[in-house]
Amino acid sequence: MGAAIPASSVVTTALQGDVLVVTIDNPPVNALGAAVRQGLLAAMQQAQADAAVAAVLLVGAGKAFIAGADIREFGKPPVAPILPEVCRAIENLNKPVVAVLHGAALGGGLEVALSAHYRLALPAATLGLPEVNLGLLPGSGGTQRAPRLMGVQAATTLMLSGQPLKAQAALQAGLVDKLVEGTDPLAAGLAYLRELLAANAPVRRTRDLAIAEPQAALAWLDEQKAETAKKSRGLFSPLKIIECVHAALQLPFDEGMARERALFMECLDSPQRAGLIHAFFAEREVVKVPEAQAAQPRPVASIAVIGGGTMGAGIAVAALDAGLPVTMIERDAESIARGRANVEKVYNALVAKGRMTEAAQAAVMARYTGSTDYADIAQVDLVIEAVFEDIEVKKAVFRELDRVCKPGAVLATNTSYLDIDAIAAATGRPQDVIGLHFFSPANIMKLLEIVVPAKVAPDVVATAFELAKKLKKVPVRAGVCDGFIGNRILAVYKQAADYLLEDGASPYEIDAAVRGFGFAMGPFQVTDLAGGDIGWATRKRRAATRDPKARYVEIADRICERGWFGQKTGRGFYLYPDGARTGQPDPEVLAIVDAERAKKGVTPRSFSADEIMRRYMAAMVNEGANVVHEGIALRPLDVDVTFVAGYGFPRHRGGPMKWADMTGLDKVLADIEAFAKEDPLFWKLSPLLVQLVRAGRNFDSLNQAEKS
């Protein structure tokens, strides 16, 4: 074997016989930083110039081939060579180039592999083009080469989903040429390359391949365009991906590449990308909380769930999916049977869809136990209470847990609103009590609010964050207050929507404006989905403490008084004929709205979609600022992650606080001051918002202050 020559410190070349082995070694995941790009380009120049080289093998050191771009370069000016240039040099080499894929070959990493002449995969390889998740499109030939290798439909689906393919699926799709068993990429790659050389395999450039069935592909692409416009809710990179694939079908390769580059640059410069990059980094930053940095988590090898309703069953499924044994406690045999059925229903649906085998379901359910006896959970490491949302009921459960659970067990409540300090005080071990606020359905929704009461031990907070990681949740640290971060802010912008409704906008106009902004559903659709009776019960609970001077809109109460609770009763703000999931506007609801306006002496006025969203967002941002100001959220980014992960906030806008920064805090402040002339009690300026505008700062400056 020839001596290893560093093409750069992170890319080395070594001659093995007549094969130049080019190794990318940039731990931890061989990201495509400038030094890697420079090293790859130099290695191609070396291979071209050296007559002793008959072929080139590209291989990644460590656990991946190349997992994509270097996130440390995000937002910085590009450093030469840019990746399309590197890919072109690989493809243009007049000696066969083989890429061996093991571990992650994602984004630019897969684009490098697509530029090679042959691709070999090991079983653990994952291949994907996830750029759409960051508001981008594959910008180094991915949109031009993938359709040539795997066909338009498969390539477009890969890019629009952002989801990776496993090695076997990639082989079937034509993205790789061969799949071999084994774990040593170098040995597998050399063996494959020797086979190719022995067979006089030609240089086979992806750019020269014809796209299969171009006419059918064009027709499919046009259908997909309309579908994507509907699904992407204002996010434009998916439509740009379709435009690039269109170019691959209709233009010569070099012109297609130029089109891809131009559209890539458009995406790069867009505020949508800034929002998505913010969301990406915020989700990494959100786990950095003082308690988790100060303490080690307690071990959690078993879990108990108290309550087998929808929420308890969802939590049980999330824990079972993470490989944990779960004991569910209910009050009687009938409730236990119902709880078990709720858990099994989730797995039955997966089996029915072919996404799980019956054997796998049986193996998961073997880790599930139902019981009516608290003594059965004496040895579990962590308990999550998910009973009826009533403080006295919850205190009774915690007194029982205090009596039976082993010392050091973590005792968590899943309350959405209630005072966790009061729940902890019902035990003799408040240091072990924490809030774990799951969102329904708990096995699907990503957000987990970790609510930190006054007396909790730091290692319990660290344990909660560790559990979130195990359950594949996005955790956000919240302080104790009515509604924590998410529901507290939700209550305020929902009120703003109610005021808009009484002042002249219809529920259907408000929902349409909110959807137009990028939410999947508007507030009145969400009420119908969740059940109007839930909010009605909360309003009745708070009636005694409501400020008599505060404006109160009774429209939702009038609707609930008729027994119209939304989808489950067939009507709410919308009509759901014959169990339909999509509602239709209801003239009787509009009549109720008119009657309530008349009763209050309100002369209705019209609102544009922009006016609706300015009020809706101003209410959200103002309360978000209060939540940060009071320390309920550690940083503005915690509010952003809460809303993107749990409340359907459009990810490409980054979250409410990032949206406010991009809009301009001075503009948001001016809006609130104008609205306050009509209702100074509701539109009370957050001191933090005023302070930041005066200082010429934005919310992100507070995120940065936390990091430094």
Long-range contacts of 291-296 (CB under 8 A, 24+ apart): 291/452, 291/458, 291/459, 291/461, 291/462, 291/477, 292/461, 292/462, 292/465, 292/466, 294/458, 294/462, 295/457, 295/458, 295/459, 295/461, 295/462, 296/459, 296/462
Q: How many Å is the maximal CA-CA distance in the chain? A: 92
**Is 131 labeled as catalytic in the residue annotation?**
yes
Strand duo 5-8 + 584-585: pairing: unpaired
Q: Terminus-to-terminus CA distance in the chain, angstroms?
A: 48
Contact 382, 350 (CB under 8 A): no
Contact 608, 505 (CB under 8 A): no
Half-sphere exposure of residue 32, counting CA atoms within 13 Å on the CB side? 29
**334: how many CB neighbours lie within 10 A of its CB?**
10
Contact 346, 443 (CB under 8 A): yes
Contact 69, 37 (CB under 8 A): no
CA 109 to chain centre: 22
- Strand 303-306: give its sheet, edge to edge: 368-371, 326-329, 303-306, 382-385, 410-413, 433-438, 447-452, 474-479
Residue type at 156? T
Helix (H, G, I), strand (E, B) or coil at 13: strand
Q: Which two tokens stand for residue 653?
A: 């806008």
Please list the helix, strand and coil fractions of the chain in percent, rounded to the nearest 5, in that order: 55, 10, 35
List the one residue out of 161, 173, 150, 146 whose CA is nearest residue 244.
146
Q: Is the peptide bond before 27 cis (omega within 30 degrees of 0)?
A: no
d(C-alpha 467, C-alpha 287), whole Å: 12
Assign residue 459 a region: left if phi > 0, alpha if psi is -120 to 50, beta otherwise?
alpha
Contact 248, 144 (CB under 8 A): yes
Residue with tokens 């909380």: 289
List the one residue out of 439, 555, 449, 437 whose CA is nearest residue 495.
555
CA 533 to chain centre: 29
Q: Is the peptide bond before 28 cis (omega within 30 degrees of 0)?
A: yes
d(C-alpha 209, C-alpha 152), whole Å: 13
**387: how many CB neighbours lie within 10 A of its CB?**
21
Q: Catalytic one among 73, 91, 111, 243? A: 111
69 secondary structure, DSSP code = S
CA 325 to chain centre: 26
Q: Catalytic one among 85, 91, 131, 678? A: 131
Assign residue 49 a region: left if phi > 0, alpha if psi is -120 to 50, beta otherwise?
alpha
d(C-alpha 647, C-alpha 352), whole Å: 29
633 secondary structure, DSSP code = B
**4: how many CB neighbours lie within 10 A of its CB?**
12
**Is 611 labeled as catalytic in the residue annotation?**
no
Contact 465, 450 (CB under 8 A): yes
d(C-alpha 452, C-alpha 430), whole Å: 11
d(C-alpha 518, C-alpha 123), whole Å: 39
Residues with active-site annotation: 111, 131
